[in-house]
Structure 1
Amino acid sequence: MKTHVLPGWLRELLMRSVAHRHYSLVVTVIAFTATITFSFPFVAVLIPAVLLSPRRWRTLALLSGIASGCGAAVLVEIFQYLGSAFVIAHYPQLVHNEAWQLASEWLQRWGLLAILIIAGSPMPQTPALLVCALANVSTPGILVAVGIGKTVKYLFLAWATARYPARFIRYN
C-alpha cells in the first residue's frame, strides 16, 4: 500500500532533473515550497529523490533541512504579517486541532526546544509554527530550531533510504 503518492508532475520533475548537477537544488526548492505551502509532507519527495540518486543522500538531506528551516521562518513571518484574526478566521480548524493543543503546551513548557523536537518528529509542524507566530517567537530562533530538527530527521531518513532501498520502494 502506498502511503504517500507523489503527484505525476513532481515525479516527472525529479526524473528529468536527476541526471543534472543541479538535482540537489531542485529538491531543495521543493522542500522550501512544501514547507511554505504545507500542501504535502516533504518526506514524500525526499525518499523518491534519494532512491533516484542514492549517492547524493547527504547533500539532499542537508540542503532540504536548511530549506525547510528557511521556509518555516518565512511562513512564521507571513502568519505574523497577516495577524491572528486573519489566520484564525481562515483556519478555524487549527485552533481546535489536537496538534495545535499539543504544540501550545510544548511551546509554553520548552520554548524553541519544542519546535526543534516537533520539526524532527512525524508531528505536523504547521500548527506549532502558527502558535509561534501568534506568540511572536523569534523568527531566527524558529529558523535554527526547524532547520536543525528537519536536518536531523532528513539525514536519518535519507541514510536509511540509501542504505536499505528495498524498504522504501513503496514511496517511489
Structure 2
Amino acid sequence: MSKSISIYLLTIFIICGFGVLNPVLSDDEDKTDFFTEYEAKQLRYSDKEWEKESVPKHEPDTLDRPSIIFDEPDVLDMKKGPTIIAITPTNFFVVIKQNDSPLDMGTIKVWGEKFFIHIDITDRVLKYLKPTKDGAILHAKSIHIPKGHYKVGISIADVNGNKAEKKYRLKVE
C-alpha cells in the first residue's frame, strides 16, 4: 500500500474515531442521558410488545408512606396503566412528599425495566434531587431519552421504611 493511501486511511480513521468518541469527550456535564443507546436497545419495547405491556394502576396516596407526583411531563391515565408521553429532550419535575415521617433520601431508586432486565439509573438523576422541608423535588431539564417505548419506575421510603413505588409506561417521540 502506498504511503499516501496509508496516510489518507489513517486520517479517515482518526476523524471517524473522534466522531465516535465525541460524546465521551464532551465537556457538557449538564447533559444527561436517561438511558444510553445500548441500554435503550435492551429496554425498548417493539410496537407489538408495547401493545401487550401494562403497568399497575397507582394506588391512592396515603398518610403512611411518601407520595410521588409527576408535574412534568404529564402522566396520562390510560387503559394499560399510567403513561408518560415525552419528546426528547424532555424536562422532568417530580414532587416527592413526605407524609408522617421524613424521607430517607438514600432509598430513592429510578430504573428502566423490560421483562427480566432491570437497569438502575438512580446515579444519573441524583444531581437533580433537592431536599425540601416537605420532602424533595426532582427537577431535570433537557434529559435525552432515545425514542421508543419503555417501562420505568421510581421508589423512595421514609425513615420508618414505609415505601412508595410507582411504575410508568413511557413513550418517547
Q: Which has the higher contact order (CA 8 A, sep 6+)?
A: 1
Scaled by the length of structure 2, what TM-score is found? Answer: 0.23
Give the structure with the larger strand fraction: 2
